[in-house]
Chain A
Amino acid sequence: MSISTAASSAVFAVYEPVIGLEVHIQLLTQSKIFCACSTRFGDPPNSNICPVCLGLPGALPVLNREAVTMALKAALALNCRINPRSRFARKNYFYPDLPKGYQISQYGEPLAEQGALEMDIGGASRSVGITRVHLEEDAGKSLHEGFPDSDEKSYIDLNRSGVPLIEIVSEPDLHSPDEAYQFLTRLKTLMLYLGVSDCNMEEGSLRCDANVSVRRRGAASLGTKTEVKNLNSFRFLQKALTFEIERQIEVLEGGGTIQQETRLWDSREQRTYGMRSKEFAHDYRYFPEPDLLPLLISESWKESIRRSLPELPHLRKARMMREYGLGEQEASQLTGSPALADYFEEVAKASGEARLSANWILGDLMFRLNERRQDITQTPVSAVALAELVSLIAEGTISGKMGKDILAEMFASGQRASQIMAEKGLQQISDAEEVGRVVRQVIAANPKQAEQYRRGKTATLSWLVGQVMKATRGRANPQVVQEALKKELGPSAPA
């Protein structure tokens, strides 16, 4: 996946990039963080609103316990120290989609600090520090396009205002765009396992900013950093980081200095550019939110959440390798999302064929899903249905080739494998007598090739197998065909 290393390996030998990520993750609570409004995505604009999330005069926030529970899950899974007492703070700035003129966030006293995310980088296990995890509310959305009068007006949708977020800040422990990509992927997988977010970058439930600097390898101090924003896909993250690292190196190589600034990634022009200082020169004037009491996390609450944590990705991977005899690569891919791992385990258990199940899921099933731009949660082929197909293949009722065709049909029609086979007469022919009849026909029709085989040209056998398969439209069991041909043709020996 690495784009960067090939392009600039020479300068990378001299410079070391230093990257830290700030990741915003939308929590999957039913209601907003400070009011009872629904968090549903995609509802008509301004339909999930109330005095609190509209920031009407006199309205007051009341903390949603569910949001705290989810944030604690995330923080504990990231091995953070949970602060028994944390505080909300106001981050003050004017923006039309920020209805109160401040965002309720956490600042000096966050929910959790000092965690770590374990990763495999280049085959070696590495720990990336987590500086902090804190809770905050989302702002609304400004809509600048798509209305007849968009040239003169902007519209505001406040459905998202007050949706709970956690911000996860990493230490500057990442040293290439590829590592940053892997970190974010890991983090996403972890959040999916915890069930605290759907981490959908398109819908904005996972957002990422990056702090980037470069320094000469071996240098003790960090270089001046820039903050890169607008990284709304995993691909953009890598591209933007690559661009920004190369830009900084170029500036330094040219004898210049790096300006500490916020830069936006422009995906059309494939570059970052600095925002005019006015746009980001905010003094947020943080101060403790007087409308909320300090957030107290009891030891017993913390421990009950810790006990409720699901099996985390690295443990599940190890267990699946052990339990199903999967290879590292397969297990890694299958545990990439909890839904995929669940799906695999269901297929494997129902079919009793773990390895074959893994092959079919990671092969044909994923291929077909990718083709349709769907993920495992949207598959039209249920785990039970795939297990049936896998069983049919395992017991030799159908060939692998037939399996592929049937799976395609299952995708198209939603029917079960057995139904499709019955309708299309697709039973594999394994009956020796039936196969023998076709084999005799094929030999009779191809005397020259039969003769070549008998004279010792054994390679001809596979051509003859092909002819039999053709005659049976692929339904014959290739194993049985081979046996039957050998029997009918007699020994193959040089003259």
Chain B
Amino acid sequence: MDLTNLTIPEIRSALTSRRASAEEIVRAHLVKIEERDREIHAYLTLSPERALAKAREIDHLVASGAPLPPLAGVPIAIKDVILTRGVRTTCASRILDNYIPPYDATAVERLEAAGACLLGKTNCDEFAMGSSTENSGYGPTRNPHDLERVPGGSSGGSAAAVAARLATAALGSDTGGSIRQPAAFCETVGMMGTYGRVSRYGLVAFASSLDHIGPFARTVRDVALVLRTIAGRDPNDSTSADIPVPDYVAALDESVRGLRIGVPGEYFAGLNAEIADNLQKGIDLLARLGCQIKSVRLPHTEYAIACYYIIATAEASSNLARYDGVRYGVRSTGYRDLREMYEKTRNRGFGAEVKRRIMLGTHVLSSGYYDAYYLKAQKVRTLLARDFVQAFEEVDAVVTPTSPIPPFKIGERIDDPLQMYLTDIYTVTADLAGVPGISVPCGRTRSLPHLPVGMQLLGKHFDEASLLCIAHAFEQAGGFAAGS
């Protein structure tokens, strides 16, 4: 039995049947990381002591016959923008190279309380700004399916870790597609709940009104199990919703027959032919499963990227002001006064993309430009959200490609920020509208080297259950299941 290949229910049954201990499961992952992560570079920091301590705790529970918590012994990786008490958290930025947080993010706390074992922190684009994990201050992560290619981003490390069996599940963050796009590129399942569904407390802010924490796993059921654990109201996050969390796992087995699924033409116009082909097959499968396929309109989609890169950068310019070298993080040496200390610290500590976004964001908020950019973008955002509300009057979910292109080669797009930004074209809308989204594997491209394609499902506010249900039925129908 390959302990790194197990799903969460399989881990549970291995533990309860005493076929494996939690410690063995964790060690198997640590060994695999040792073997494979040199080339993949999914992890920035490992926390074996913490994982093993939790595993032994679980093994004691097993030995004593006590009931096991829902994620007992599940090895999990955490994107390095999510705080872990006592474990270095860098946000893949040199400016936080030495930063050890004094507290855990709420999501991390909930995972551990549910018995999960935290293996370590995964690589990403610096402060989650990017779509390829190439913007990491510690070097890129490679796609486990093709080492020359990017794993997507910004949560590329988490997606790659799950895909390469270096973790059973992982947490990522999604601001403009940073969970769903790498999930698609690495042929895993990745989900972002409704804005407010999962507490952001302890998620290092990139763009507060768009940031989400969400899970990666190799099956929809595992994603549902992790989401159920981390979702729900947190008094430490004023924007977390006080809305009951349904049993996502129970929802998986409901019928999809008769569910109305919308296909927005705006997301398919001019689409890469191979991706379009896979998506069509995916939609056909949904129809065969009994879903009603309808065409819908999301007319403001074309403004989404522009709107997103104004709002996200505006908030980022403010959120990243605290990295000034005064209280924590790395302070540059060789300054003569305060101003120079700020300038040197931030100039040396931040990478090019982060600086570009801080400058963009500072510009769009500055006096004389605020109305033309930030305020206008907020209005567009309202219209985009209204598009979804109107579409969801006719359908229960919307299906789209996750990414307009398959995984590209490392270095291929890094010199053209605009091309890179356009990678997010199908994912940013859900962040802007605050609706939930999931990406499930949807086969591989026909041509060599047969790269993974992801299908995105978007749903109504707080209706994660329908998305999980549809994605699960799609996955179980088998045609495009992960690893096939």
Provide the bound-state CA to CA distance between A60 and B365, in Å.
22
Q: Is A380 an interface residue (CB 8 A)?
A: no
Do the beta carbons of B365 and A293 come within 8 Å of each other? no
B contact residues around A287 at 8 Å (CB): 314-315, 318, 365, 370, 374
Do the beta carbons of A99 and B322 come within 8 Å of each other? yes
Question: Which residues of A line the B interface, CB within 8 A?
Answer: 51, 54-63, 90, 92, 94, 96, 99-102, 156, 283, 285-287, 290-293
Given contact pairs A58-B203, A94-B324, A290-B209, A285 touches B237 in the complex (Cβ within 8 A): no
Do the beta carbons of B318 and A101 come within 8 Å of each other? yes
Q: Is B17 an interface residue (CB 8 A)?
A: no
B contact residues around A92 at 8 Å (CB): 317-318, 321, 365
Do the beta carbons of B328 and A58 come within 8 Å of each other? no
Provide the bound-state CA to CA distance between A167 and B459, in Å.
43
In the complex, identify which listed stretch (B28-36, B96-104, B144-152) lies at the interface while the others stay far away: B96-104
List 29 interface pairs A-B (beta carbons < 8 Å), by A numbering: A57-B83, A57-B322, A58-B82, A58-B101, A58-B202, A58-B205, A60-B238, A60-B239, A92-B317, A94-B321, A94-B324, A94-B342, A99-B322, A99-B326, A99-B327, A100-B321, A100-B322, A101-B318, A101-B320, A102-B321, A285-B317, A287-B315, A287-B318, A290-B207, A290-B208, A291-B239, A292-B238, A293-B238, A293-B239
Q: Is B1 an interface residue (CB 8 A)?
A: no
Do the beta carbons of A60 and B322 come within 8 Å of each other? no
A contact residues around B324 at 8 Å (CB): 94, 96, 101
Distance of A55 from chain B, by nearest CB (Å):
5
Name the residue of chain A whose CB is nearest to the CB of B314: A287
Distance of A292 from chain B, by nearest CB (Å):
5
Do the beta carbons of A56 and B370 come within 8 Å of each other? no
Extra inter-chain contacts (19) besides given A102-B321, A287-B370, CB under 8 Å: A51-B103, A56-B101, A56-B102, A56-B103, A56-B328, A57-B204, A58-B83, A59-B201, A60-B200, A60-B201, A92-B318, A94-B324, A99-B327, A101-B321, A285-B366, A287-B318, A287-B374, A290-B207, A290-B208
A contact residues around B83 at 8 Å (CB): 57-58
Provide the bound-state CA to CA distance between A59 and B322, in Å.
12
Do the beta carbons of A96 and B326 come within 8 Å of each other? yes
Name the residue of chain A whose CB is nearest to the CB of B374: A287
Q: Is B13 an interface residue (CB 8 A)?
A: no
B contact residues around A283 at 8 Å (CB): 366-367
Provide the bound-state CA to CA distance between A173 and B315, in Å.
38
CB < 8 Å: which of A57, A96, A286 contacts B96? A57
Provide the bound-state CA to CA distance between A388 and B96, in Å.
68
Do the beta carbons of B238 and A63 come within 8 Å of each other? yes
Provide the bound-state CA to CA distance between A285 and B360, in Å.
13
Do the beta carbons of B318 and A102 come within 8 Å of each other? yes
- Name the interface size band of chain B: 35 or more
Q: Mark B194-233 against chain A: 1 for CB-CB distance below 8 A, else 0.
A: 0000001111110111000000000000000000000000
Q: Is B362 an interface residue (CB 8 A)?
A: yes
Provide the bound-state CA to CA distance between A62 and B199, in Å.
13
Distance of A102 from chain B, by nearest CB (Å):
5
B contact residues around A59 at 8 Å (CB): 201-202
B contact residues around A96 at 8 Å (CB): 324, 326, 338
Q: Is B235 an interface residue (CB 8 A)?
A: yes
CB < 8 Å: which of B105, B235, B365 contacts A58? B105
A contact residues around B366 at 8 Å (CB): 283, 285
Do the beta carbons of B327 and A54 come within 8 Å of each other? yes
Distance of B409 from chain A, by nearest CB (Å):
32
A contact residues around B205 at 8 Å (CB): 57-58, 291
- Residue picked from B103, B239, B322, B328, most chain A C-beta under 10 Å: B322
B contact residues around A58 at 8 Å (CB): 82-83, 101, 103, 105, 201-205
Name the residue of chain A whose CB is nearest to the CB of B326: A96
Q: Mark B56-78 against chain A: 1 for CB-CB distance below 8 A, else 0.
A: 00000000000000000000000
Q: Is B423 an interface residue (CB 8 A)?
A: no
Do the beta carbons of A55 and B327 come within 8 Å of each other? yes
Q: Mark B229-255 against chain A: 1 for CB-CB distance below 8 A, else 0.
A: 000000111110000000000000000
Do the beta carbons of A285 and B365 come within 8 Å of each other? yes
- Top 9 A-B pairs, shortest CB-CB distance: A101-B321, A290-B209, A285-B365, A290-B208, A58-B202, A57-B204, A58-B83, A283-B367, A96-B326
Name the residue of chain B whose CB is nearest to the CB of A92: B318
Distance of B103 from chain A, by nearest CB (Å):
6
Q: Mark B346-377 against chain A: 1 for CB-CB distance below 8 A, else 0.
A: 00000000000000001001110010001000
